[in-house]
Amino acid sequence: MGVLISSILLIIIADGAVSAAEAAIYSVPIHKAKIYAEKYRAGRTLVLLKESMEKPITTLIALSSIITIGGSFYAGFLATKIFNNYWIGIFAGLQTFLLMIFGEIIP
């Protein structure tokens, strides 16, 4: 049971981090990124990301999908072993709800 809970938390945290990175890239205006680039090396990286938004956003969306689908598959596998097939529908609905709230909406 502890492995299942840990897996769900890891999936939510990983998906939330990817969503937060996506939001961070979108939220910084290019002019502020250029000002930041004059002071810090990380700012230059941010400017490069902002100037070619397709690649980083596509990568982040693909990574989020891989985390969500792969993690849900693994957690569903663990849940089936623990709760049998009767609870799998309830588990899937609850996990989807948690992923949407804590992995997509809040970040």
pLDDT, one tens digit for every residue, the chain (107 residues): 888 889 889 988 998 899 899 888 888 898 998 998 999 988 898 898 888 888 888 899 899 889 888 888 888 888 888 887 777 777 778 888 888 888 777 76
**pTM of model > 0.85:** no
Q: What is the DSSP letter of 100?
A: I
Burial letters 71-96, b for 16+ CB under 10 A, else e: bbeebeebbeeeeeeeeeeebeeebe
